[in-house]
Amino acid sequence: MRTGQNEAIRERELTSGRSPAAIVIATLVILLCGYALFEAALKALGQDPLIATPETWWTWISLLPGDLNPLGLVATGLAAMLLGLVFLTHGTRRGRLARHSMGCDGAVLIVDDQVLAAALARRARIEASVGPGQVLVVISHERIDVQIRPTSGTPIVPAVVLSGLEEELRINAVEPMPVINVRVSESGVIGQ
Amino acid sequence: MNLTPRVLNRSLSTFFGAILLAVGIHLLLVAGVPDYATWWRGAASALGEIAHGVLLATTLPGQQESWLWIVLALLLIVAILLMVWWISVQGRGRASAYVSAYFDDDPMPGRVEISDEAVEQALRAMLGRRADVVSLNVTLWENSPVPGLRIKVQPRTGVAPGELGAEIADAARAAQELMGSGGPVVIHLAGGARSRFARSERVQ
C-alpha cells in the first residue's frame, strides 16, 4: 500500500494540477451566469432589461449571421475555438512539469530540472576537463542535450563524457532514465 | 503537494473546452457556409417556437411573465455557487499541525500539538550547518492517519542531488522518529524562482 501511495504522490508532484485553467474557466462561467441571472431576475420581476431581454438575445442568436460584419464573426469564432482548444488540451494532456523523480529509500525525491542540469554540467566539465561556461546542458522531459565547446588543441571524446553522464544519472537513480545527447562543437575556445 | 481536485479540474476543463470549441466552430460555419446558416435559422426558429409555447403554458393567470424565469434564476445561482466552490477548493489540503493528539494522563490531561515549524527546526538541527543548502522549508499536507511532510530544499548550483536527497531523507526519518510519528515524505530539490515558469532548463 505504501508504494502505491508513493506512486500517487510522485505523479502528483511531477504533473500540473491545472488550477489556473480551473480558476479562469470558473471566473468566465460566473461572469456569464451572473449576467444571465440579472436579466432573468429582471424578467421575472417584470422590470426593464439591463442590456437586452432574453428574447432579444435569442432572436439575435437565432438570426445569425444577421447583419453582423462577417469578419468580426469569424474573428470571434476563431477566438472561441482557440480558447476551447487550450482548455481541452489542459483537460486531456498530462501536463508534465520540468521535474524529474529519483529513487530514494522511504521518501519521494523530486528534483527540478534546473538542479539536475547543474549537477550534470558539473560532471561533464570534469569528464571533458573544460572550464565553466564551455558546457551547456538542456533538459526537456525525457531528453538531455549536452553541448561542449572544447578548449583549442585538446580533443574531447564524446563517448567518455556520455558514459560519465550516464553513470551520474545511475548514481542519482533518475527514473525513468532519460536519453543523453552529447555534442562537441566544431570550434574551440582559447585555452584557460 | 496539496489536495487540489485534479480529476475534477481536468474533466471540467475538458467539458467547457469542448463547449467553447463547438461554439467557435458554429460561429465560423454560420459566417462562412450559407447552407449551414440557412439550416441554423430554420432549426433556431423551430426551437424558439417550442420555447415560446412552454413559456406561455407556464405563465400563471394574472401574471405577466412565466414562473420559469424564477426557476432559471435559481438554477443560475446554484451554478454560480458551484463555480465559487470550485475556485475555493484549489490548493486546499495544507495541514497546520504535524501531531495533534489528546493524552488522558492522570494529573494533567491535555492535547499535544507539534507544528510544521518544529519539524523544520528539528531537520535544521539534524542537518547542521551545510554549505550545499541555500534554504530549507517544511510544509504539511492533509493525509490520514498522519500528515505528509513536504521538504523543499534549494541546493547550491552543481550539488549532486541523489546524495543530498538521501541525507535529507535520513534526517527526515530521524525527525519523524523524534516526533513519534510517521507519514509519507516528499523531498523537493528546487532550483531558483525561474524554474516555475521554464519548461526546460539550461545550465552552463
Q: How far is B92 from chain A (nearest CA, A)?
A: 11
- Mean pLDDT check: name the lowest of A135-149, B59-73, B107-121: B59-73
Model pLDDT, residue B6: 86
For residue B70, list chain A residues with Cβ-Cβ distance below 8 A: 44
Of the pLDDT bands very low, low, confident and very high (cuts 50, 70, 90), residue B75 is very high
Residue A121: CB atoms within 10 Å: 23
Of the pLDDT bands very low, low, confident and very high (cuts 50, 70, 90), residue B199 is very low
**Among candidates A81, A111, A113 on the partner chain, residue whose Cβ is nearest the Cβ of B21:** A81
B75-102 average pLDDT score: 89
C-beta separation of B161 from A116 below 8 A: yes
Residue A3: CB atoms within 10 Å: 7
Q: Please tell me if residue B24 touches chain A, with a CB cutoff of 8 Å.
A: yes
Q: Please tell me if residue A75 touches chain B, with a CB cutoff of 8 Å.
A: no
Nearest CA in chain B to A23: B87
Tell me the per-residue pLDDT of B3-46, one tens digit each, with 9 for 90 and over.
Answer: 788 889 999 999 999 999 999 999 998 888 888 888 888 888 88
Kindly state the percentage of chain A with pLDDT values over 90. 16
**Among candidates B72, B80, B172 on the partner chain, residue whose Cβ is nearest the Cβ of A40:** B72
Residue A110 vs residues A113, A136, B187: alpha-carbon distances, Å: 9, 22, 6
**Spacing of C-alpha A22 from chain mean position:** 16
Inter-chain CB proximity A136 and B203 less than 8 Å: yes
- The CA radius of gyration of chain A, in Å to the nearest whole number, is 28
Average pLDDT in chain A: 85
For residue B148, list chain A residues with Cβ-Cβ distance below 8 A: 9
Query: CA–CA separation, B116 vs B97, rounded Å?
Result: 6
The burial of B193, by beta-carbon neighbours within 10 Å (0-12 exposed, 13-18 middle, 19 or more buried), is given as: exposed
Model pLDDT, residue B142: 85
Model pLDDT, residue A32: 93
Tell me the per-residue pLDDT of B150-196, one tens digit each, with 9 for 90 and over.
Answer: 999 998 887 888 888 988 999 999 888 888 888 889 999 988 765 44
**Among candidates A85, A86, A140 on the partner chain, residue whose Cβ is nearest the Cβ of B200:** A140
Model pLDDT, residue A89: 92
Please report, in tens digits, the pLDDT of each residue of chain A (192 residues total): 467 788 888 888 888 888 889 999 999 999 999 999 988 888 777 788 888 888 888 888 888 777 778 888 889 999 999 999 999 999 988 888 888 888 888 888 999 888 888 888 888 888 888 887 788 888 888 889 998 888 888 888 888 889 988 888 888 888 778 889 888 888 877 765
**Among candidates B25, B45, B194 on the partner chain, residue whose Cβ is nearest the Cβ of A81:** B25
Inter-chain CB proximity B30 and A64 less than 8 Å: yes
Choices 3.20.20.70, 3.90.226.10, 3.30.70.1350, 3.40.50.300: CATH for B94-191: 3.30.70.1350
The burial of A4, by beta-carbon neighbours within 10 Å (0-12 exposed, 13-18 middle, 19 or more buried), is given as: exposed
Number of residues that make up chain B: 204
Tell me the per-residue pLDDT of A60-101, one tens digit each, with 9 for 90 and over.
Answer: 888 877 777 888 888 999 999 999 999 999 998 888 888 888
**When comparing pLDDT for B106 and B139, which is higher?**
B139
Type of residue numbered B59: T
Kindly state the percentage of chain B with pLDDT values over 70. 93
The DSSP element (H or E) to which A138 belongs, if any, is strand A135-140
Domains of chain A: 2-92 (no CATH), 99-184 (3.30.300)
Average pLDDT in chain B: 85
**When comparing pLDDT for B2 and B80, which is higher?**
B80
Q: What is the ipTM of this complex?
A: 0.79
Residues whose CB is less than 8 angstroms from the CB of residue A2 and which lie 6 or more positions away in sequence, other chains included: none
Model pLDDT, residue B132: 84
Q: Please tell me if residue A84 touches chain B, with a CB cutoff of 8 Å.
A: yes
Model pLDDT, residue A53: 81
Residue intervals in chain B for CATH 3.30.70.1350: 94-191
Q: Please tell me if residue B189 touches chain A, with a CB cutoff of 8 Å.
A: yes
Query: CA–CA separation, A121 vs A135, rounded Å?
Result: 6
Could you say which residues from 111 to 170 on chain A have a Cβ atom under 8 Å away from some Cβ of chain B?
111-122, 132-133, 135-140, 168
B201: pLDDT strictly greater than 60 = no
End-to-end Cα distance, chain A: 55
Is the model's pTM score more than 0.90? no
Model pLDDT, residue B195: 42
Best probe of the A interface among B14, B70, B76, by most A CBs < 10 A, is: B76
Q: Please tell me if residue A176 touches chain B, with a CB cutoff of 8 Å.
A: no
For residue A73, list chain B residues with Cβ-Cβ distance below 8 A: 27, 30-31
**Among candidates B80, B169, B204 on the partner chain, residue whose Cβ is nearest the Cβ of A33:** B80
